[in-house]
């Protein structure tokens, strides 16, 4: 597990010297705020957040896992709505790391991971949700490209790394409980690696983003249960 505890001395170090900025961006309703809160509290809370209509700022955070320490001056959790253009832009161009969250279940096409629909109407709704999600992904990365190319030369070019996080949603029952069995078994390394490869391939086809100065990493998992969420965060920490 990781810890977010820190001493006053850690806080001072982060404030004065080596804290970096982490921006959490992505498609709306994809789990950004749940993920951000889970990283900070290790307590998975579903259904308590309403859509983020602005940018939440969390200051001075330290994440420690084994010998790795990540010192953050700011975490910005930005709502995914399209009208937050300016906040997204300033977060993107001022963050050292970007975590970009999307629903991988609406992106991947590998048959064994794709959700099954029982009726034609359900299938049509799913197809429409997929179409919208893919368009939103393509549009976001188009903007990233544009923002990177148009930063004035006297401003430092950021970010240095984008971690694309695929959150496989899974099916919710009438009581709003998520059925863990409707999510691929990300705790199994082989399954996770096959899924991640497919997820990456599908995203690359949709975005065709390339920028030699920005490292892109791919992490796939789910926030459907605490166990899965823990694994997802550990995989993200590994990539930072």
Ligand X SMILES: Nc1nc2c(ncn2[C@@H]2O[C@H](COP(=O)(O)OP(=O)(O)OP(=O)(O)O)[C@@H](O)[C@H]2O)c(=O)[nH]1
Interface residues toward ligand X, by CB under 6 A: 26, 28-34, 46-47, 49, 51-52, 79-80, 167, 169-170, 172, 178, 222-224
| Pair of tokens at residue 211 | 């920028």
Cβ 143 to Mg ion, closest distance in Å? 18
Residue 196 interacts with, from ligand X, Mg ion, none (CB under 5-8 Å by kind):
none
Residue 204 interacts with, from ligand X, Mg ion, none (CB under 5-8 Å by kind):
none
**Site map (CB under 5 A) of Mg ion, residues 65-94, x = contact:** ------------------------------
Closer by beta carbon to Mg ion, 32 or else 158: 32
Cβ 235 to Mg ion, closest distance in Å? 21
Cβ 217 to ligand X, closest distance in Å? 19
Closer by beta carbon to ligand X, 14 or else 232: 232
Binder among 6, 30, 33, 141 for Mg ion (CB under 5 A): 33
CA nearest neighbour of 70 among 143, 156, 10? 10
| Pair of tokens at residue 28 | 């709306």
Cβ burial, residue 67 (10 Å; 0-12/13-18/19+):
exposed
C-alpha angle 27-105-185 in degrees, rounded to nearest 5: 125
Closer by beta carbon to ligand X, 202 or else 228: 228
DSSP β-bridge partners for residue 68: 65
Closer by beta carbon to ligand X, 159 or else 166: 166
Among left, alpha and beta (phi > 0; psi -120 to 50; other), residue 47 is left
Phi, psi of 81 (to 5 degrees): -60, 150
Residue 221 interacts with, from ligand X, Mg ion, none (CB under 5-8 Å by kind):
none
Q: Beta strands 171-172 and 178-179: pairing type?
A: antiparallel
What DSSP element (H or E) covers 188? none
């Amino acid at each position: 597990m990781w810890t977010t505890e820190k001493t006053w001395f850690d806080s001072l170090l982060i404030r004065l010297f080596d804290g970096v900025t982490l921006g959490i961006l992505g498609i709306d309703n994809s789990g950004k705020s749940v993920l951000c809160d889970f990283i900070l509290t290790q307590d998975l809370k579903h259904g308590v957040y309403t859509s983020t209509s602005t940018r939440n700022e969390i200051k001075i955070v330290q994440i420690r896992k084994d010998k790795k320490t990540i010192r953050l001056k700011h975490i910005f959790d930005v709502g995914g709505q399209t009208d937050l253009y300016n906040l997204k832009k300033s977060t993107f161009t001022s963050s050292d790391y970007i975590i970009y969250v999307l629903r991988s279940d609406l992106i991947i096409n590998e048959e064994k991971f794709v959700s099954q629909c029982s009726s034609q109407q359900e299938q049509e709704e799913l197809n429409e949700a997929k179409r919208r999600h893919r368009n939103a992904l393509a549009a976001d990365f188009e903007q990233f490209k544009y923002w990177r190319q148009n930063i004035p030369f006297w401003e430092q070019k950021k970010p240095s790394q984008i971690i694309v996080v695929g959150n496989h949603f899974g099916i919710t029952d009438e009581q709003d409980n998520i059925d863990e069995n409707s999510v691929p078994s990300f705790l199994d390394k082989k399954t996770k690696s096959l899924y991640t490869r497919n997820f990456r391939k599908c995203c690359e086809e949709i975005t065709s983003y390339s920028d030699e100065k920005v490292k892109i990493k791919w992490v796939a998992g789910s926030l459907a249960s605490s166990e899965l969420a823990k694994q997802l965060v550990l995989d993200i920490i590994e990539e930072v």
